[in-house]
Structure 1
Amino acid sequence: MVRRVVTGVDPSGKPVIVSDGEPPVSRQYTHTPGFARSLVWNTTAPAAPSADPTETLKSYVPAPGETIALTVTFPPASVYADPSWDPAAAAAEQLEGTPGLAELFEPENPGMHTTPTVDYGVVLGGEIVLDLDGGETTVLRPGDLCVQNGTRHAWRNLGTEPATVFFVLIGAEASS
């Protein structure tokens, strides 16, 4: 998992490190080996410094003006091809672990989804393919950045090693 350092202000007004360690809302998925997610932080509108809000997050799709910061580790595609992988159990685990977001994934088009958000993604490790609805794809490698503007897309790890991406989801007004 990832290390999260959170700053704050002590009662005397001095800047301090409030927490340092794994985010409290982290999960290694059981039904999709190698799939992991850590909720790093979230804000409401208007954003303001606060105590750790991650444990009370109700939806992984932020409302307009709100944000969610998280890491996602994508296992290689071979995990999904393994005969022991159970898609129904994996889907149920995603629904429990990422409410609001998991419901937006299309069962008939695995991995494809559309969110009412502008997302900033930074590849931290591995390689990941951004697969757009129109058939266009691009490979992103460590250090590459992506601005995902509410388009229908999927993230695919075609390699042999896990790929980890840091995302900031910013709630946006749905386009008409």
Structure 2
Amino acid sequence: MSSSPFKPVRRVVTGHTPEGKATVVADTVQPPTFWSPQSISPIYDLCHTSESPAVIDSEIREGKWADEIATNTEHVSRNGSVFRVFEFSPGTVSPAHRTVSLDYGIVAKGSIVLELDDGERITLNEGDTIVQRGTMHTWKNESKTEWARIYFIVLASKSVEINGQELKEEWRSEQ
């Protein structure tokens, strides 16, 4: 299996000087993380906030920019937001999972199959969007040759409650 064919993920973050002028506080190529040690499908964390409304002036208040992704590895921020990129190599299947979050996804390249726990399958193609609302699901790249890249904005949410039962975060073993 080959490595990702996509350009590296560049992240530019703006902020303010002590005089209140706009400035760039970071311009980096993000290092990847992975679903599991054997996975070649990278994940790139771009932003993490731990509260809402977000604190966006740390470089003024603390004298330096506080990059929360450097210190926080939560998949979902309990009180804030997460912005990340997932790449799915050909044949990749994510672990079945449910998060207590509202996720906005945009397929940037390729196509990916969303499979819900009731067996329903939806193919999302380049340019398609998904509003994921705390459902149990997997992501499957069923292509034998093409990679897929999806951008996600993950927002904290309340748990779904059905018949008095709270649907909590759940991760199942990889398939």
2:50 is the alignment partner of 1:44: yes
2:103 is the alignment partner of 1:119: yes
Find the aligned partners of 1:59 and 1:44 in 2 and give their Cα distance. 10
More strand, by proportion: 2
* Aligned alpha-carbon RMSD (Å): 1.8
Structure 2 SS opposite 1:151: coil
Find the aligned partners of 2:33 and 2:98 in 1 and give their Cα distance. 23
Could you say if the C-alpha distance between residues 57 and 131 of structure 1 is closer, same or farther in structure 2, counting changes exceeding 3 Å? same
Structure 2 SS opposite 1:54: helix
In the superposition, the TM-score normalised over structure 2's length comes to 0.75
In the superposition, the TM-score normalised over structure 1's length comes to 0.75
Find the aligned partners of 1:131 and 1:114 in 2 and give their Cα distance. 12
What's the CA shift string for 1:23-69, capped at 9, x where partnerless? 3x533675222x00111001122212142111100421221x41111
Structure 2 SS opposite 1:41: strand
Query: Any runs of at least 4 consecutive aligned residues in structure 1 with deviations exceeding 4 A, and if so which?
Result: none
The count of residues paired between Structure 1 and Structure 2 equals 143
Shift of 1:145: 0.8
Structure 1 SS opposite 2:32: strand
Match of 1:17 among 5, 21, 24: 24
Structure 2 SS opposite 1:124: strand
More helix, by proportion: 1
Structure 1 SS opposite 2:70: helix
User: Letter of the aligned partner of 2:130 in structure 1?
Assistant: C
Query: What are the ranges of 5 or more consecutive residues in structure 1 without an aligned counterpart?
Result: 81-109
Query: What are the ranges of 5 or more consecutive residues in structure 2 without an aligned counterpart?
Result: 1-7, 59-65, 162-175
Q: Which residue of the partner structure matches residue 14 of structure 2?
A: 7
Shift of 1:8: 0.4
What's the CA shift string for 1:62-104, capped at 9, x where partnerless? 21x4111110101111x67xxxxxxxxxxxxxxxxxxxxxxxx
**Percent identity of equivalent pairs:** 34
Match of 2:82 among 68, 90, 96: 68
Q: How does 1:14-163 map to 2 (within 5 A)?
A: 14-23=21-30, 26-27=32-33, 31-33=38-40, 35-46=41-52, 47-49=54-56, 50=58, 51-63=66-78, 65-77=79-91, 111-159=95-143, 160-163=145-148
Find the aligned partners of 1:20 and 1:123 in 2 and give their Cα distance. 24
Match of 1:170 among 140, 155, 165: 155
Find the aligned partners of 1:69 and 1:58 in 2 and give their Cα distance. 12
User: Letter of the aligned partner of 1:52 in structure 2?
Assistant: D
Q: Which residue of the partner structure matches residue 61 of structure 2?
A: none
